[in-house]
Amino acid sequence: MVVGAHVAGVDLPSSPAEARERVDRLLRTQFLSGRKTGQDDVVWADALLVTSELVTNAYRHGVGLTGFSARIEGNELLLSVADQSTAFPVLPLRAKGEFTTGGYGWAMVNRLATRLSVIPTDDGKRIDVAVALV
């Protein structure tokens, strides 16, 4: 089951919540079905957190979502999120002990992803992320 497509304006989630719902449905039907372990709960939460962060950033910083897909291959959730911005996400530099508002999501995505690519496109960029499901 593939959720979404990379076709501009066609079947794209209208919000981060809708993207999370799609990934939740995918995980429940293809990965978590019949399983009941604490580790699965953590994996599920990580996958939804990464989904939410990528789609939120596409709407907030990327001038809108232009592509979205989610699928399971082997033991990984593969997410792909495209937006209209050509600016790549950055990890803000902070001094030790410095705490500021915002800027933590991309670091979280980098930490939770087993693979991550930012790819320039003709109309912006696409971020491809793999999240381990085991």
Q: What is the mean pLDDT of the segment spanning 107-125? A: 95
68 bridge partner residues: 81
For the segment 11-29, what is each residue's pLDDT rounded down to a tens digit?
899 999 999 999 999 998 8
CATH superfamily of 16-84+102-132: Histidine kinase-like ATPase, C-terminal domain (3.30.565.10)
Residue extents of the structural domains in the chain: 16-84+102-132
Task: Tell me the pTM.
Answer: 0.84
For the segment 51-103, what is each residue's pLDDT rounded down to a tens digit?
999 999 999 988 889 999 999 999 999 999 999 999 999 877 766 776 666 66
Dist CA 14 CA 52 (whole Å) = 12
Q: What ranges make up the beta strands (E) of the chain?
A: 65-73, 76-83, 115-121, 124-132
Dist CA 72 CA 3 (whole Å) = 10
Coil/strand/helix, residue 67: strand
Choose among 2, 129, 130, 124: nearest CA to 66.
124
Dist CA 121 CA 134 (whole Å) = 31
Q: What is the mean pLDDT of the segment spanning 100-117? A: 86
